[in-house]
Amino acid sequence: MLDEKRNTQPDEGIFDSALANQRPVSETFFIDFSADQTIAQNLHQSDEAVQRRIRQFMEDAKSPTQFLFDFQTYGNDCDEEVRADLSLGGIAAIDSTDVLPVTDLMNTSFYTVGVGCITSQNRYAPEVVLTTTNTRYARPDEITANDENLWNLCDDLDNARQTKGSWATTFREYQEREIAINCEQKTVLLDGPVFTQNLITQHSGRELYSEMMQTGKRFIGVIKDLGSSWAISKWTAMSLERGEGFVLCPIQEQYQRRFGDNRSINNWIGSLSGQYVRVVYRPAEKAFAFECALADLSYAVSFLRQDASPTINHEIPLLLETVDWHLRGSNNSQAIKHSFISEIQRNNYRMGVDITNEGNYR
């Protein structure tokens, strides 16, 4: 029985439930979902039951690192300080975008990221830093000297390339935090969590975080979309009432649970100075989340109220919205990729054709 459990894939139960619940539908299914009774059934029988349980858990939480609070009034004592920092350009917002998406050749990948930094003083002219890189998956001498093990090398290459999205995301997150460390502002907004699993699993990422913690700066990571967030973040956010916030947990504890069998990462997490927390909040109809040091919680909540976008269901900080708008508006990554492939074709036409999406020739 133990061996059977050990060999079971983590998603096997989920996949089995998908097979068990499959059913044919008519061509009009996507026109009128009101005819599908399973939507209401699942909401009432499953999701709402979970929501009630989570709500009770939230209302019972009374510890310094886990509690419900009134989002509209919490941190009022920091309002004047935040207002002054916003006015004087003392708060920087940092975001990034793929300028050249990951482009694979045979043994090499190329990637370019753009990181934007903006304050209230340069809303219309953000500082943008472009960084390009390339990776090599195997040394050429490994390939040429291993006729017998060519299959093994290719298998290793497949495994490495399966993480290409991960390494590019990690590289982008690293560049954002380097800018956060080096900018002159003492309060820095990041698009997404302050701490990411990608960076924590990399030695260079942990070194970067240690450097961040030594700067004395105030870092606030705003999580705009909870769709890919921790399950407990989504569950507690969906259980919030309008105008509420909930301090969920210390981030260090969450990652120590996640990396329970990795002593080096756990020891590093335990050595971090300060206590960072994950917080979910519902300023109006839509819920969001953020991370900050527990000592900066009042400041962070005050800032999120004062700089909230007036756009309905998009009440994220205007500074982040603005830098994102600049990056999106000034970047055409697909055109850049086509130009890059043209250069590949100039040097090796067939390779350039091979890496071009066949749909581009239609």
- Identify the pLDDT of residue 286: 95
Domain boundaries, the chain: 83-333
Q: Of the candidates 286, 287, 262, 289, which has an alpha carbon nearest to the alpha carbon of residue 278?
A: 289
Q: Between these two residues, 256 and 96, which has the higher pLDDT value?
A: 96
Query: Can you tell me the distance from the alpha carbon of 290 to that of 277, in angstroms, rounded to the nearest whole number?
Result: 8
Query: Can you tell me the distance from the alpha carbon of 237 to that of 280, in angstroms, rounded to the nearest whole number?
Result: 6
213: confidence class by pLDDT, cuts 50, 70, 90: very high
What predicted TM-score, i.e. pTM, was given to this entire model?
0.86
Helix (H, G, I), strand (E, B) or coil at 31: coil
Residue 215: is its pLDDT beyond 70? yes
Unique residue bearing structure tokens 């990637």: 111
- What's the pLDDT tens digit per position in 34-72? 767 777 777 777 788 889 999 999 999 999 999 999 999
DSSP structure string for 318-348: HHHHHHHHHHHHH--HHHHHHHHHHHHHHH-
Question: Domain 83-333 - what CATH class?
Answer: alpha beta
Average pLDDT over residues 15-37: 76
Q: Pairing mode, if any, of strands 91-104 and 218-223?
A: unpaired
Q: Which residues contact 14 (CB under 8 A, 6 or more apart)?
A: none
The mean-pLDDT minimum among 27-36, 47-56, 85-94 falls in 27-36
